[in-house]
């Protein structure tokens, strides 16, 4: 009868080995390029070791009982004891062991949680660069308030320098994630979440919005570009001197639900609106202004022509 379970066990084991083997090499989360992602990778590996031990113990016990006690021709009646009701001793043991494991997993988890609230230790002496990361359906807007520049759908940072991302959203809730650099954080209208990240190696890393925000969500990606310090300084200077100004009209267009290419500006939107406070009203107003259908419509509204889209009574529901 063990033969019956062999396919299952070998499929599971085979794929598990795949996880462990390929795991440590190329998969983004196991190929960190910054201290935060490295910390998380270590925590994940630590937990995987525990889980593998648990799985091996249970699988061995499982294989043993189903092979030994399967009903078969030469089944030894002595092996069958139908009336065992329990064993307090055993039950206490397998209550205590998981408790110990949970404690062993909780301690580093809590430690890492507190650690990630601070800039990375190795570069704690450097003043973090502040970058606002705002998602607006379906693009990422990065504002450098100190440097007074703004980029869309890509963000340039110097290597080995702590960056403080201030994450928010102009409309729906999104999630800012660059797997090789660190863990994700939600961006919500009217709120700001802090996330320290740092890149150790120059390179281009995939960043995205991993939280569902509707039709364009799949394409809401950005490049997280880590540059060498002088390259970064050159880029800053070049952008400040040569990039076009972000006008209010251009910014309004960014509020419309569409994807756009990479863009660069020599000022920020922060004078126009602060999404960390705005809680979404601004984007909704702009959409209405441009006649974009927002959410549910009354039937009368559907019937009416575009001409009365500025009508007060009509705008009541949707601002």
Partner 1 sequence: MFDFIKDNLILNDPMLIGANISILLSVIGIVFILTYFKKWKWLWTEWLTTVDHKKIGIMYIIAAIVMLFRGGVDALLMRAQLTVPNNEFLTSHHYNEIFTTHGTIMIIFMAMPFVMGLMNVVVPLQIGARDVAFPYLNALSFWSFFFGAILFNISFVFGGSPDAGWTNYAPLAIEGSTGPGINYYLLGLQISGIGTLLTGINFIVTIIKMRAPGMTLLRMPMFTWTSLVTAFIIVFAFPVLTVTLALMTFDRIFGTHFFTLADGGMPMLWANLFWIWGHPEVYIVILPAFGIFSEIISAFARKTLFGYKSMVISIVTISFLSFLVWVHHFFTMGGSAAVNSVFSITTMAIAIPTGIKIFNWLLTLYKGRIEFSVPMLWSVGFIPTFLIGGVTGVMLGMAAADFQYHNSYFLVAHFHYTLIAGTVFACFAGFVFWYPKMFGHKLNERLGKWTFWFFTIGFNVCFLPQFLLGFDGMPRRVYTYGPEDGWTGLNVISTIGGIGMGIAFMILVYNVYYSFRYSKRETTGDVWGNGRTLEWATTTAVAPHYNFAVVPEVKGYDAFWLMKQEKQKEKIEYKPIHMPSNAGTPIVMSAFFFVAGFGLVFKLWWIAILGGIGVLACLAVRSLRSHKEDEGYYVSVDEILKTEEKKEA
Q: By rule CB under 8 A, what string of x and - marks binding of each residue 34-73 to partner 1?
A: ---x-xx--xx--xx--x--xx--xx-xx--xx--xxx--
Phi, psi for residue 182 in degrees, rounded to 5: 175, 180
CB 269 within 8 A of CB 141: yes
Residues 157-216 that bind Cu ion (CB under 5 A): 188, 191
255 lines the binding site for partner 1 (CB under 8 A):
no
Nearest-angstrom CA–CA distance, 256 and 189: 15
Name the residue nearer to partner 1 (CB basis): 217 or 226.
217
Nearest-angstrom CA–CA distance, 274 and 287: 17
With CB cut-offs between 5 and 8 Å by kind, which of partner 1, Cu ion, none does residue 173 bind? Answer: partner 1
With CB cut-offs between 5 and 8 Å by kind, which of Cu ion, partner 1, none does residue 100 bind? Answer: none
85 lines the binding site for partner 1 (CB under 8 A):
yes
Name the residue nearer to partner 1 (CB basis): 149 or 286.
286
Residue among 109, 233, 247, 310 that touches partner 1 (CB under 8 A)? 109
With CB cut-offs between 5 and 8 Å by kind, which of partner 1, Cu ion, none does residue 48 bind? Answer: partner 1
**CB 192, min distance to Cu ion, A:** 10
> Three-state DSSP class for 208?
strand
246 lines the binding site for partner 1 (CB under 8 A):
no
Instruction: Give the chain's end-to-end CA distance (angstroms, integer).
Output: 67
Dihedral, CA of residue 269, residue 272, residue 274 and residue 277, to nearest 10: -160
Q: Tally Cβ neighbours within 10 Å of residue 142.
A: 23
Nearest-angstrom CA–CA distance, 181 and 170: 24
Residue among 49, 75, 238, 244 that touches partner 1 (CB under 8 A)? 75
Residue among 119, 179, 236, 251 that touches partner 1 (CB under 8 A)? 179
208 lines the binding site for partner 1 (CB under 8 A):
yes
With CB cut-offs between 5 and 8 Å by kind, which of Cu ion, partner 1, none does residue 109 bind? Answer: partner 1
Q: By rule CB under 8 A, what string of x and - marks binding of each residue 114-143 to partner 1?
A: x-xx-------------------x------
**CB 110, min distance to partner 1, A:** 5
**CB 176, min distance to Cu ion, A:** 13
Long-range contacts of 17-20 (CB under 8 A, 24+ apart): 20/48, 20/52
Name the residue nearer to partner 1 (CB basis): 71 or 245.
71
Nearest-angstrom CA–CA distance, 38 and 157: 18
Take residue 188 and report the two structure tokens written for it.
Answer: 């919500």
79 lines the binding site for partner 1 (CB under 8 A):
yes
With CB cut-offs between 5 and 8 Å by kind, which of Cu ion, partner 1, none does residue 54 bind? Answer: partner 1
**CB 175, min distance to partner 1, A:** 6
Residue among 119, 183, 199, 222 that touches partner 1 (CB under 8 A)? 183
**Distances 93 to 24, 60, 98, 137, 141 between C-alpha atoms, Å:** 33, 18, 9, 53, 54
| Residue 264 C-alpha from the chain's centroid | 24
How many amino acids of this chain bind partner 1 (CB under 8 A)? 113
In the sheet that holds 163-169, the strands lie side by side as: 193-197, 163-169, 129-136, 139-144, 149-152, 263-265
Binding site for Cu ion (CB under 5 A): 188, 191
């Amino acid at each position: 009868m063990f033969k019956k379970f062999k396919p299952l066990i070998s499929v599971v084991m085979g794929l598990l080995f795949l996880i462990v083997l390929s795991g440590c090499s190329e998969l983004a989360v196991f190929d960190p390029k910054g201290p935060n992602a490295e910390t998380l990778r270590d925590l994940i590996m630590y937990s995987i070791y525990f889980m593998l031990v648990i799985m091996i113990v249970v699988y061995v016990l499982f294989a043993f009982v189903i092979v030994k006690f399967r009903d078969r021709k030469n089944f030894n009646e002595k092996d069958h004891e139908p009336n065992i009701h329990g064993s307090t001793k055993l039950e206490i043991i397998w209550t205590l062991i998981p408790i110990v494991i949970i404690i062993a997993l909780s301690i580093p988890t809590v430690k890492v949680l507190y650690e990630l609230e601070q800039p990375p230790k190795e570069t704690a002496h450097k003043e973090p660069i502040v970058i606002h990361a705002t998602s607006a359906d379906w693009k990422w807007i990065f504002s450098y308030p100190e440097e007074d520049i703004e980029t869309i759908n890509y963000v340039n940072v110097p290597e080995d320098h702590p960056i403080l991302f201030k994450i928010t959203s102009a409309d729906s809730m999104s999630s800012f994630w660059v797997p090789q650099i660190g863990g994700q954080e939600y961006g919500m209208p009217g709120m700001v979440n802090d996330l320290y990240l740092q890149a150790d190696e120059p390179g281009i890393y995939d960043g995205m919005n991993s939280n569902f925000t509707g039709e364009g969500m799949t394409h809401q990606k950005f490049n997280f570009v880590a540059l060498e310090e002088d390259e970064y300084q050159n880029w800053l200077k070049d952008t400040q001197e040569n990039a076009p100004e972000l006008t209010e009209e251009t910014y309004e267009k960014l509020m419309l639900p569409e994807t756009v290419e990479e863009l660069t500006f020599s000022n920020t939107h922060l004078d126009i609106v602060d999404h960390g406070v705005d809680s979404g009203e601004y984007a909704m107003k702009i959409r209405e202004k441009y006649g974009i259908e927002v959410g549910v419509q009354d039937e009368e509204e559907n019937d009416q022509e575009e001409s009365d889209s500025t009508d007060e009574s009509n705008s009541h529901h949707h601002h």
